Amino acid sequence: MCLYKYVIIKKYVDYKTTLIIIFTKNQNDSVLAQHKGSSFTRLVFSKANNESRQKLSRSSSERPRPPPPSASSEMSEHQSEEVQQIEKLYEFSERLNASKDKSQNVEDYEGIIKMAKTSMKAKQLASQLIPRYFKFFPTLSTEAFDAHMDCIDEENIGVRVQAIRGLPLFCKDSPDIISKIVDVLVQLLNTEETMERDAVHKALMSLIRQDPKASLTALFTHAGVTPTTDDQIREKVLNFIRDKVFPLKGELLKPQEEMERRITDLIKQSLEDVTGGEFKMFMDFLTSLSIFGAKAPQERMQELVEIIEGQADLDAQFDVSDTDHIDRLISCLQLALPFFARGAPTSRFLNYLNKHIIPVFDKLPEERKLDLLKALADISPYTTAQEARQMLPSIVQLLKKYMPARKTGEEMNFTYVECLLYAFHHLAHKVPNATNSLCGYKVVTGQPSDRLGEDFSELNKDFTERLTTVEDLTKTTMKKLTQGMTEHNKAMSAAKTDEEKASVKTKKQNTTTGLRTCNNILAMTKPLHAKVPSFIGDTNINLSWKEATKPLPSAATTTIGGKRPANSNTGSGNNVSAKRGRGSSGMSNQLVNKAFQGISSHGGGRGGNRRRGGGRGRGQGRGHW
């Protein structure tokens, strides 16, 4: 079938000739070149109407023409030469298209390559023809590709865009060069021209649709970090993957399971040196894949946790002065929580916390302590009995540190106590008899670890006294918070400007969160006064920095010796996905602030839903998370 048709129409007006040239192949492949002037001649090339061309040519010769100007302009000569070049290119293309053995038409293809070094319009047309017949002339591949690349380097954007559009055609029948073409297109992502950038995006998407495995493999080589990595280009690649590839994963990743597994491996290879934001982007994409979906087995959840563990640097010796490491550890813990809720093991994180972090807790920066305790509280429902037995002594030790033995006038950090009581309940629920030697309880399970023959009465007395002191302080603070809420309500009624209303609204939110903290503390201390206490093992206690969730229909506590609920070891995922609070904004009311100073970040605090930026500084060690 003929690809090109041409009819030549020439019209002279006032001895000046202006050309508008339109080359038409089909609806999706056209080049339009225009020269503006006082009048115009339209040239439409059409191969299918040879007779019309001859008739029109005869008619033109019979029509009287004005004499040419005495001195032809340089523009007219250039236009004439350009028309000849275009006609020549179409002749080459027609012969190649008609030939049954195109490899014999070497001279025609060489002619096309030569024309790619002439006029602008010829370069545009040659940029279509070079890749179209590329596969038939392997001996000319280097020369042809170089000529095409010269067109991409042209100053004229029309030539560049047409050459970029032609790049995927090189790979249509030569998939072995996909990686080379992807490399070229990746370098072009850095362009500032919108039209050119769009052409690059479309060319890359065309390649990914042609061969997703080879194209994505080549693309992801630029997503990782090497000594020669250009950070600006790498950023463009990551943006392209996020904005263009990820949204179309269902269309592009076929066959689905094979390609999802392949892209998972590619992402793993790209995580050697990433920022916190980049890591979260990749994790969000991985969790959107069907192989990690709702029906994925526990092994897949473990795979995701292992990826997160790699970012958390759990094999590194902890340096208490390395705030970036603790930030990264806490952020990774938060990322891993949904996978712990679905059965992934928590042991590596807990072992690291227990061995390296908790022993130096006092030396941590103040702003990191609350983050860590919140992370401990969040992870505690998903521990195994063995992990709980290992962690419980450290938690009890911290509890005794932050629960005053008596009213000494020192301020109590209410949020610290809330976090530690929550973790204590969930761990003790897994191994209740471990509390006998830690808190002086008398829990009977029939196991040697009950240690019922030993006297731990002094421990029990000290622990219950601390619980009583905490309850007294909490009730006193609740009265002050309630009084503060009344004052806030009055202030809201009196507020006139939007700023005043916003300020009062923030204070009310902080006070509300403070009251929730106090209520949680009282709910958790009450069942601990008995010799055989009840340990809370479900998620009915909604931690104060999380949004309120509807309570579960099951009982709030489990009595020791009673049957353990089926979900007691894994907990519920409700709190895992709960949205974090509103950031660290302390209470403005001076009375409440003084009585409740320890809750300075109770409104959500650091480490809520905010991921720390930064991360591993590419090529220079890790930056800030």
Q: What is the pLDDT of residues 366-383, one digit of tens each?
A: 888 998 999 999 999 999
**pLDDT above 60: residue 21:** no
Tell me, what's the pLDDT at 599? 38
What percentage of residues in the chain have a pLDDT greater than 70? 75
Q: What single letter denotes the amino acid at residue 351?
A: N
The confidence score (pLDDT) of residue 361 equals 93
Question: Is-contact 349 313, C-beta < 8 A?
Answer: no
Give 435-492 pLDDT, tens digit per residue: 989 998 888 888 887 787 788 889 999 999 999 999 999 999 999 999 998 888 888 8
Q: Would you tell me how many other CB atoms lie within 10 Å of the CB of residue 414?
A: 25
Q: How far is CA 220 from CA 212, 236, 241, 255, 584, in A?
A: 12, 12, 9, 19, 38
Q: pLDDT digit string (tens) for 533-585?
A: 999 988 789 999 887 554 434 333 333 333 333 333 333 333 323 333 323 33
Q: What is the DSSP letter of 357?
A: I
Q: What is the pLDDT of residue 34?
A: 35
Q: Which pLDDT value is given to residue 43?
A: 32
Per-residue pLDDT at 242: 94
DSSP strands (E only) in 76-162: none
Q: Which of 3-12, 311-320, 527-536 has the lowest mean pLDDT?
A: 3-12
- Mean pLDDT along residues 110-134: 93
Q: Which of 511, 507, 579, 570 is nearest to 543 (CA)?
A: 579
Q: Are 592 and 480 in contact (CB under 8 A)?
A: yes
In SS3 terms, 452-472 reads as CCCCCHHHHHHHHHHHHHHHH
Report the pLDDT value the prediction gives residue 67, as an integer from 0 to 100: 52
Phi, psi of 43 (to 5 degrees): -110, 115
Give me the pLDDT at residue 452, please: 77
Spell out a b/e string for 1-40, using b for 16 or more CB atoms within 10 Å of the CB, else e: eeebbbbbeeeeeeeebbbebebbbeeeeebebebebeeb
Contact 624, 611 (CB under 8 A): no
The angle at the Cα of 536, spanning 535 to 540, to the nearest 5 degrees, equals 170
pLDDT in tens, 574-593: 332 333 332 333 333 333 33
DSSP line for 148-185: HHHHHT-S-HHHHHHHHHHHHHHHHS-GGGHHHHHHHH
pTM of the model: 0.71
C-alpha dist (Å) from residue 14 to 59, 68, 529:
20, 10, 108
β-strand pairing of 19-26 with 41-44: parallel
Q: List the helix and strand counts (H, then E) for the chain.
A: 23, 6
- Tens-digit pLDDT profile for residues 206-226: 999 999 999 999 999 999 887
> What pLDDT score does 65 carry?
53
pLDDT score recorded for residue 237: 95
Residue 280 is predicted with a pLDDT of 93
The arithmetic mean of pLDDT across residues 271-285, rounded, is 92
Q: Which of 8-17, 261-270, 483-492, 552-561 has the highest mean pLDDT?
A: 261-270
User: Count of alpha carbons within 13 Å of 451, Cβ hemisphere only?
Assistant: 15
Asked whether the predicted pLDDT for residue 622 surpasses 70, the reply is no
Across 9-13, 61-65, 315-319, which has the greatest mean pLDDT? Answer: 315-319
Residue ranges per domain, the chain?
Answer: 1-66+73-154, 370-599
Asked whether residue 493 carries a pLDDT value surpassing 70, the answer given is: yes
- Choice among 18-27, 123-132, 150-159, 242-251 with the minimum mean pLDDT: 18-27
Model confidence at 307: pLDDT above 80: yes
Distances (CA, A) of 5 to 26, 122, 143: 10, 17, 29
**Mean pLDDT taken over the chain:** 78
Over 50: is that where the pLDDT of 254 sits? yes
The answer to whether 535 and 425 have CB atoms below 8 angstroms apart is yes
Least confident of 47-51, 75-79, 385-389, 584-588: 584-588
Rg (Cα) of the chain, in Å, rounded? Answer: 37
- pLDDT of amino acid 80: 81
**Predicted confidence (pLDDT) per residue in 419-437, tens digit:** 999 999 999 999 999 998 9
Give the single-character DSSP code of 222: T
In 3D space, the residue among 524, 541, 539 whose CA is nearest the CA of residue 573 turns out to be 539
**Confidence bin at 69 (pLDDT 50/70/90):** low
**Stronger pLDDT, 81 or 36, i.e. the higher one:** 81
Question: Can you tell me the distance from the alpha carbon of 103 to that of 598, in angstroms, rounded to the nearest whole number?
Answer: 82
The two tokens of residue 221 are 């080589």
Cα 193 to Cα 47, 156, 196, 523, distances in angstroms: 35, 12, 5, 62
Peptide bond into 255 cis (omega under 30): yes
Q: If you ran DSSP here, which 8-state letter would residue 598 be given?
A: G
Encode pLDDT of 26-61 as tens digits: 333 433 333 333 333 333 333 334 444 444 344 444
Instruction: Please check the confidence at residue 353 and state whether its pLDDT lies above 50.
Output: yes
- Locus of tokens 């969790």: 287
Pairing state of beta strands 7-8 and 19-26? unpaired
